[in-house]
Structure 1
Amino acid sequence: MTQISVERKHSLGREAARQKAEVLVDELAREYDLQARWDGDTVEVKRSGASGTIRIDDDTIRVDLKLGMMLSIMGSSIKGEIEKALDKALVA
């Protein structure tokens, strides 16, 4: 199993960051067939072979994802895509 952790700082404030995260999570859910469940400022995401959380704080967004064996071989490219998506989404 592969663990991916990505954290990005932002200066948007918690509410604006959450709004951007909601849009990003909706896009990812459609594109990658993810199930997403919000609990406060944390969203749990799941799909076959992967599960994790996205946590929104006042000045950071953190993604923690566990990949099963089949997706582990694509771990570095998945991490790169997460980093790119966060960088794009967090532009003020």
Structure 2
Amino acid sequence: MARIDIQHPHSKTPAQARKAIESVAKKLSERFDMDYGWDGDTLNFSRSGVEGKIALLANNLQVTATLGFLLSAMKGPIEAEIRRVLSEKFD
């Protein structure tokens, strides 16, 4: 199993950051049949082969995910796509 751990700075208000994270989660849910839900300021997500969370901190987002055996081989492209989306939504 592979693990992804990304910290990404942001300058959005908590409400703006939460809205952007929610937007990304909805798209992922529709595209990949992913379940997600908020627990305070942390969005937890999961689907077969992936489990993770996005923690909304004051000036930073922390994305962590554990990839199952089959998706572990695609860790590089998955991590690159997460970084691309974070840059698009939070830079």
- TM-score, normalised on structure 1? 0.94
How far off its partner does 1:14 sit?
Answer: 1.7
- Consecutive unaligned residues of structure 1, counting only runs of 5 or more, are none
1:13 pairs with 2:13: yes
Distance 1:54 1:30 in 2: 18
Cross-structure match for 2:74:
74
Name the Cα RMSD after superposition. 0.9
Give 3-state SS (helix, strand or coil) of 1:6's partner.
strand
Distance 2:61 2:55 in 1: 6
Distance 1:30 1:62 in 2: 22
Cross-structure match for 1:44:
44
- Consecutive unaligned residues of structure 2, counting only runs of 5 or more, are none
**Percent identity of the aligned residues?**
32
Give 3-state SS (helix, strand or coil) of 1:37's partner.
strand
